[in-house]
Amino acid sequence: MIAIDTIQETAERLMEKAAIEIPQDYLDGLRTMADTEDGDLSSFVLQAMLENYEAAKQDRRAMCGDTGCPRWYVKMGNEARIEGGPIALEAALRRATAKSTNDIPLRPNRVHPLWRTDHDNNVGIGAPEIEYGFEPDGEWIDLVTVHKGGLFGTDYRMLFPSDGIEGIKRFFLDSLVAFGKRGLACQPAIIGIGLGGSKDTCMVLGKRAACLRTVGSRNSDPRIAAMEDEFKELGNSIGMGAMGFVGKSMVVDCNIEVGYCHTGGMQMSVHAFCLSSRRAVARIHADGRVEYRTDPEWFTDYQRRETVEWTPPQSLSKSA
Amino acid sequence: MDTAPKPQQVRLSTTPSRADLEALKIGDIVYLDGLLYTAREGVYKKVCEEGSDLPLDLPAESAANFHCSPAATVNPDGSFNMGAVTATASFRFSKWIGPWIERSGARIIIGKGGMTSKDYREHFVPNGAIYLTTVGYGTGALLGRGIKQVKAVHWNKELGLAQAMWVIEAENMGPFIVDGDLAGNSLFERENARIAANLDKVYEGTRPAVLRRFGETDDRSDEVIG
Ligand code: SF4
């Protein structure tokens, strides 16, 4: 049984980590870009960002003043049991979100879409979002918080099989060029692409590709992995760098996730996880142990399964 | 290839003289000293549309308007806790910026992403104002370090913390980059034009979607702001 107090304390710690500490994979990716960037202005921006991450850590203050929209991904092992059940879990995550907004502090970004009511705590109708995933084994739960920023850089389009790879590339480039100008996407970004599903799941896939995979990770389908490499290079060949200045630092990495779709369509979404790619993860074990990390490890073989029944890959089932 | 003079780094007062501003060119790096205040749609509506009185003496106390909502809280004892500050995209305030500059006497507008050179020519140049963009845009922690003190917050009850008018004392706060100078030039638009030259090549091997959208354009010199 996982204690509800442990969940809330861990959630508060995650809120702080996400807001303040840039994940190492993103930082390494950005350093590599800073080393190769030759546009003067774009280089200046990247250097300033690297200093900014240091300043945030030293001062324990949020790395960006726009602290985004905190949200939660909860992944549960099949045997996990939570004190008080899912209702208690959701209450704990809402409390942690509100408390951390005040304590860190974060910007109280969440308002009612029509009345602009602001509770000054990032909690409201449907906020923070809490999404779930499950894994076959384990008594643990993983808490992932993502503080996604950016009103720009995201787009959706219904493509068709006849659009082919040329159409996918076009929409990818259109999104980067449109939102890269003036740096509206706060690039260099982790670009997440969702392909297939239906309109809503396509958006979800793209967002998770951007926010729940790390820089340097590759899709388990080798042909999709090759597309990820190709698209990253394509994005960086536009001639645009940080803030839309001349340069080549646009895409820190490109992650693609797919879902089966209607036979007539090929939905596509594009998401940009910005210079403040805020995510933090913890695994809480049944015995109360908490392990912090920055890789959500969300897209497991189980999440990408294609078959009716789940049969674990050979290597895993042997070791289990 | 690039014949433009090297960008300079300068410290600028938030109540600058005309000469201070004339010395700035697009691409220059600026650090600010003095009082600045946040104002965005909430404040603009209140002042420009509803005619509310300004809560401080502008531009005497400050001629620098920051398009920003800080990550900040008001403590129970009335003091402030301000963490990071980051600008918000300025193009959305185009409809108020002219009346606001006239009413407030602002000479420095600070925000994210600049405004159009049309806005600069119509509203900034006639009033002797420049535009500074934040850097990154995620340099909130660096900018937070440049805040010496939060002086006051106005209208936080009516407008909420994010839309309230925060008055901040800045010391060597930056970096910012000059996007709009006194001649009405835009750095972003200059960069856009340079990048556009390469785009046809990048788009080779792609093709337009079979299902079009109303109002869609293939003119890649276009911008999504307007
Ligand atoms: S998009 Fe990201 S880096 Fe840019 S202002 Fe928002 S949170 Fe900050």
**B86 in contact with ligand 1, CB cutoff 6 A:** yes
Indicate if the pLDDT at residue A256 is higher than 90: yes
- In this structure, the residue with its CA closest to atom 8 of ligand 1 is B138
Report the amino acid identity of residue B205.
Answer: G
- In this structure, the residue with its CA closest to atom 1 of ligand 1 is A150
Task: Identify the domain containing residue A220 by its residue range.
Answer: 151-272
Contact A159 B220 (CB under 8 A): no
CA distance A170 to A227: 14
pLDDT of residue A320: 41
**What residues of chain A lie within 8 A of the CB of B76, using their CB?**
none
Contact A67 B194 (CB under 8 A): no
- From A274, A277, A279, mutation site for ligand 1 pocket: most ligand atoms within 8 A of C-beta: A274
What pTM does this model have?
0.93
Q: Does B195 touch chain A (CB under 8 A)?
A: yes
**A189 in contact with ligand 1, CB cutoff 6 A:** no
Angle between helices A24-36 and A40-59 (to 10 degrees): 150
Mean pLDDT of chain A: 96
**B138 in contact with ligand 1, CB cutoff 6 A:** yes
Beta bridge partners of B37: B65, B167
**Residue-wise DSSP of A233-244:** HHHHTSSB-GGG
Contact A62 B207 (CB under 8 A): no
Residue A257 located in a structural domain: yes
Contact A151 B160 (CB under 8 A): no
Contact A238 B198 (CB under 8 A): yes
Say which residues have a Cβ less than 8 Å from residue B110's Cβ, sequence separation at least 6: B32, B36, B64, B65, B66, B67, B68, B87, B131, B132, B133, B134, B176
Residues in chain B predicted with pLDDT less than 70, given as ranges, are 1-6
User: How many residues are present in chain A?
Assistant: 320
Number of domains in chain A: 1
Neighbours of A233 (CB within 10 A): 12
CATH classification number, B9-203, choose in 3.20.130.10, 3.40.50.720, 2.120.10.30, 3.30.1280.10? 3.20.130.10
Instruction: Name which residue leads in pLDDT, B74 or A90.
Output: A90
Ligand 1 atom with least separation from CA of A147: 7
CA distance A176 to A234: 10
CA distance A218 to A232: 12
Structure tokens at B165: 């008018």
Report the amino acid identity of residue A288.
Answer: G
- In this structure, the residue with its CA closest to atom 3 of ligand 1 is B138
CA distance A318 to B114: 58
CB A217 within 8 A of CB A152: no
- From A66, A252, A279, mutation site for ligand 1 pocket: most ligand atoms within 8 A of C-beta: A66
- A150 pLDDT band (50/70/90 cuts)? confident
pLDDT of residue A65: 86
pLDDT of residue A308: 97
Average pLDDT value for residue range A177-204: 97
Residue A111 located in a structural domain: no
Chain B, nearest residue to A56 by Cα: B141
- From B69, B137, B142, mutation site for ligand 1 pocket: most ligand atoms within 8 A of C-beta: B137
pLDDT of residue A89: 98
Structure tokens at A152: 């720009």
> Tens digits of per-residue pLDDT, A68-82?
999 999 999 999 999
Average pLDDT value for residue range A252-270: 98
Indicate if the pLDDT at residue A126 is higher than 60: yes
Helix, coil or strand: residue A84: coil
Residue A264 located in a structural domain: yes
Domain segments of chain B as ranges: 9-203
Chain B, nearest residue to A183 by Cα: B113
**A27 in contact with ligand 1, CB cutoff 6 A:** no
B143 CA to centre of ligand 1 in angstroms: 14
- The beta-carbon neighbor of B139 closest among A48, A182, A239 is A48
Q: Which of A180-189, A244-253, B72-81, B104-113 has the lowest mean pLDDT?
A: B72-81
Cα separations (Å) of B175 from A203, B137, B183?
A: 35, 11, 22
